[in-house]
Amino acid sequence: MKCRKCGGKAAINMRQHKLSLCREHYLEWLPEQTQRFIEKYRMFSPQARLLVAVSGGKDSLGLWDVLSRLGYQADGLYIGLGIDGGLAYSSESQRLAERFAAGRGLRLTVVDVAALEGATIPEAAARTQRGKDKPCSVCGLTKRHVMNRAALDGGYDVLVTGHNLDDEAAVLLGNTLTWATGYRARQGPVLEATHPGLVRKAKPFCRFYERETAAYALLRGIEYIYDECPHAVGAKSIYYKEVLNQMEAERPGLKLSFYLSFLEAKERGLIAAQSDPAAAGLHPCTTCGQPTSAPGQCAYCRTWERVRSQAVRTLEGGQPV
Ligand code: Q46
Ligand code: ZN
Ligand code: ZN
């Protein structure tokens, strides 16, 4: 297989684009495409101050690398979840994110959930979910809150995440199977800020296959964490990804056309962007001030208050309930 641009040895063959490229030309192609998507979906201007949510994985570190190469002012945010156990997932991913930033002179803010709220994500889940469930609901809630707050407090224009096409297609498939029309209408490369207390969000990698972002990180020599969070095992999104991969193997390009046809239908008004229920009737949380549709406190403050009250009960000798 030869590079289409120079005839040299190809490092990657993208069947869906009928395109093979060598290392050098692939490392040019991916940032060029990213810039094209940023412009096409009007994600942000060259002057925008960006905050990149970095997990230590290939997508977020690759994205941060690309945005810096393209000349954007992009700082990073790492959230320490305290998910360790045997794999040392959090400490290892933090180490890699810090190393990446230090090696390139980039600014990384680290928010440690245990330092902020007094418990790690698994501890919080064990106290509020009786330890039965995965910690994903408290984790997702916390990450969204911390990212929004860090972006607003830091005066950033856009919060940027490394979601790739596999992630987006899996979410779309899930929302389609459950006919979650509200969520589906909000899905896309950009999530507008529907309230002054919410930051605008963008996903510049949303049209790249996971193998493309992985190839970029590898060919660029970026050291990233290979393991997924241990709690991701068995998640529905992983099942949807596997199903989509099976279809993709038979029909190259299917995943991309599924996502692009959705975006096109949305643009043509075929997927009604109903008034966003989450944006309707938002008011500031009585504790933290972030917008919420819940009366009084937001879900984040309510959850973490419960976590703290369970810790007090345990200290007093009671069993967590
Ligand atoms: S939500 Fe769940 Fe993820 Fe949090 S606990 Fe791990 S798998 S990191 S995207
Ligand atoms: Zn080449
Ligand atoms: Zn709150």
d(CA 222, CA 297): 41
Pocket perturbation via mutation, ligand 1, pick of 161, 231, 240, 241 by most ligand atoms within 8 A of CB:
231
* CA end-to-end distance (rounded Å), the chain: 61
Radius of gyration of the chain, Cα coordinates, nearest whole angstrom: 21
| b/e burial code for range 287-319 (CB count within 10 A of at least 16 → b) | eeebbbeeeebbbbbbbbeebeebbeeeeeeee
Q: How far is the CA of 284 from the centre of ligand 3 (A)?
A: 8
Q: How sure is the predictor about 129, in pLDDT bands with cuts at 50, 70 and 90?
A: confident
pLDDT at residue 11 greater than cutoff 60: yes
CA 269 remoteness from chain centre? 26
pLDDT of 166 > 80? The answer is: yes
Please state which of the ranges 61-70, 81-90, 159-168, 187-196 shows the lowest mean pLDDT: 81-90
**Which is nearest to 11 in space by CA: 21, 28, 218?**
21
**CA of residue 136 to ligand 1 center, whole Å:** 5
The whole-model pTM stands at 0.94
When pLDDT is averaged across residues 156-178 and rounded to a whole number, the result is 97
Give the pocket of ligand 1 (CB within 6 Å): 83, 134-136, 139-140, 229, 231-232
User: What percent of the residues of the chain are helix, what percent strand, and what percent coil, each to the nearest 5?
Assistant: 50, 10, 40
Q: How far apart (Å, rounded) are the C-alpha atoms in residues 71 and 90? A: 29
Of the listed ligands, the closest to the CA of 305 is 3
321 confidence band (pLDDT: 50, 70, 90): very low
